[in-house]
Amino acid sequence: MPVSDSVDREAGAETDSGGSGDRPEGLPINELFASLQGEGTLAGVPSVFVRTSGCNLRCWFCDSYHTSWEPTHAWLGLEEILAEIESYDADHVVLTGGEPLIHEESVALLEALDDRGYHTTVETNGTVHRDAPIDLASISPKLESSTPTPERAPDGADEADAEQWAERHERDRIDMDALAGLVEDYEFQLKFVVTDAEDMPEIFDLLADLREAAAVPIRDDDVLLMPEGATRDRLAETRTRVADLAMDHGFRYTPRLHVDLWNDAPET
């Protein structure tokens, strides 16, 4: 299912905060498609991707611009989503966004997928905790380098929007209670988007704080460094130095296979 051509600005604003308002039942779906998992410990696994629209953050390098900066979507009911998923020949489902956990209905979808025997991965920025059947919480805490500014905003974004979001993004990008709850309750991977070595001190500090806050061990093997870049050209600039950083510090490196294979094409 392609990106919806309809933009519901009001609904998009509501989904940023997780409020229900007068929204219809179901979920705002930006894309629903089958592809290969491109990132993390399950890279290369055939999966169905359910991409919700709406996010509580605004990373300047967001690779799903139409779920955050300019949200587009179609509202689909739970049964419609499940029917579309079941039309594909895959045992893994990736619930992603945007930030899928801002939507309460995501829990009902995950429960329905669990009942049907699917393996579920939830791609989350780690600021929202939900009680749901999640097989892998793929947590990507956002570093200071993700914060937008008028000078550092995605193509197509209004500079005023970047300025407006900068303070909110910086304030909300780390929620230690939510992070600790996610790593305590689910099998997890911590996936950091890295541009260069300047990001590493913040990663070390965040890991130290999380290890102190969480009641479960967090191994270096649970930490994945992923090069920043939503296009092949940009990845060519970042991937080697991020791979070197992973080797230097004993963390895992994760590629972005979908970018390597299909560049920045939608539904990949």
pLDDT tens-digit series, residues 79-90? 999 999 999 999
Which of 176, 173, 174 is CA-nearest to residue 213?
176
Report helix, strand or coil for 223: strand
Q: What number is the average pLDDT over the span 149-155?
A: 80
Q: Which two tokens stand for residue 103?
A: 């939507």
Give the length of the chain: 268
Q: What confidence score (pLDDT) does residue 63 get? A: 86
Unique residue bearing structure tokens 């920043």: 228
pLDDT at position 94 over 90: yes
Strand order of the sheet with strand 46-52? 74-76, 27-36, 46-52, 92-96, 119-124, 136-139, 188-194, 223-227, 252-253
Q: Which residues pair with 28 in a beta bridge?
A: 75
Distance between CA atoms of residues 99 and 127, nearest Å: 9
Please give the sequence-ordered ranges of beta strands (E in DSSP) within 158-210, or none if there are none: 188-194
Q: pLDDT-derived band of residue 24, with 50, 70 and 90 as boundaries?
A: low
Question: What predicted TM-score, i.e. pTM, was given to this entire model?
Answer: 0.91
pLDDT at position 150 over 90: no
pLDDT at position 10 over 50: no
Q: What number is the average pLDDT over the span 100-118?
A: 98
Q: Which residues pair with 52 in a beta bridge?
A: 29
pLDDT digits (tens, 9 = 90+) for 63-76: 899 999 999 999 99
Q: What number is the average pLDDT over the span 13-42?
A: 77
Architecture of the domain defined by 9-262: Alpha-Beta Barrel (3.20)
Q: pLDDT-derived band of residue 177, with 50, 70 and 90 as boundaries?
A: very high
